């Protein structure tokens, strides 16, 4: 604690802390989207606990990775070669996570469309433990990018840990509001699932050393959300006129 206070005594450290915290929040958007989709399938009484547990696991994973920074650096060393492409431990984790996201998103979209075709009916709630395990597994994938960015932006462990904790506390607060908003607007859920497909494909590309600039990814997501918000506003105005 004393080391953190001494570090934050310098204005430059505050700038680094705020920059890193904002970056962690931006990088955590995909984590929140995935968590929101999974938690929505739980009974209402368990959803808040699942959100806090999932993001708490993400916080623990990130801090543990920061604490083992030398091991983390070793993840970039090639382990295997597939079709002439060397894959490191980080690449394999990203590949597995990307394929998992692709499969999970496609299955969820199928369930949504199948449910809409059948009409209203009783929804079978998901199991709490299974949901938390899925969140924990995908947290590892999202944590890798988050921690590598943190290491690249700051050399102070105290600043990195503080920024990650602050960002995840903000996400814990926002996740409930995001989930409630998506539940009220089913078209946004389909849009969120489409984002997860996009993120999964990006992770697979990164694992195979095809770099996809994140700015294009976030611009596409932001543009799609803006268009959908305009459509929601138009639907509301038309409903009022009727």
* pTM (predicted TM-score): 0.72
Terminal Cα distance for the chain, rounded: 60
Please state whether 86 falls in left (phi above 0), alpha (psi between -120 and 50) or beta. beta
Lowest mean pLDDT among 16-30, 113-127, 216-230: 113-127
Q: State residue 150's pLDDT score.
A: 66
Q: Is 121 helix (H, G, I), strand (E, B) or coil?
A: coil
In whole angstroms, how far apart are CA 120 and each of 41, 116, 123, 188?
Answer: 15, 7, 9, 19
What band does 242 get if pLDDT is binned at 50, 70 and 90?
confident
* 148 or 78, higher pLDDT: 78
Give the chain's radius of gyration (CA, Å): 19
| Contact (CB, 8 A) for 98 and 204 | yes
Residue with tokens 């944590």: 143
Distance CA 73, CA 53 (A): 28
């Amino acid at each position: 604690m004393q080391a953190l206070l001494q570090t934050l005594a310098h204005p430059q450290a505050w700038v680094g802390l705020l920059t890193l915290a904002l970056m962690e929040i931006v990088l955590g958007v995909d984590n929140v989207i995935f968590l929101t989709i999974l938690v929505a399938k739980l009974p209402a009484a368990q959803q808040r606990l699942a959100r806090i547990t999932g993001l708490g696991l993400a916080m623990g994973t990130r801090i543990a990775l920061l604490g083992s920074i030398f091991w983390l650096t070793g993840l970039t060393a090639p382990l295997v070669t597939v079709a002439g492409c060397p894959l490191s431990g980080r690449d394999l984790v990203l590949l597995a996570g990307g394929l998992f996201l692709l499969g999970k998103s496609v299955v969820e979209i199928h369930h949504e469309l199948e449910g809409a075709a059948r009409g209203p009916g009783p929804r079978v709630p998901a199991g709490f433990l299974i949901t938390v395990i899925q969140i924990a597994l995908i947290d590892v994938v999202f944590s890798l990018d988050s921690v590598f960015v943190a290491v690249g932006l700051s050399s102070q462990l105290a600043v990195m840990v503080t920024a990650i904790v602050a960002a995840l506390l903000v996400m814990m607060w926002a996740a409930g509001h995001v989930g409630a908003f998506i539940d009220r607007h089913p078209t946004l859920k389909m849009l969120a699932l489409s984002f997860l497909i996009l993120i999964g494909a990006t992770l697979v590309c990164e694992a195979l050393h095809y770099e996809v600039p994140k700015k294009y990814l976030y611009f596409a997501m932001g543009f799609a959300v803006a268009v959908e918000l305009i459509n929601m506003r138009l639907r509301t105005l038309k409903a009022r006129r009727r």
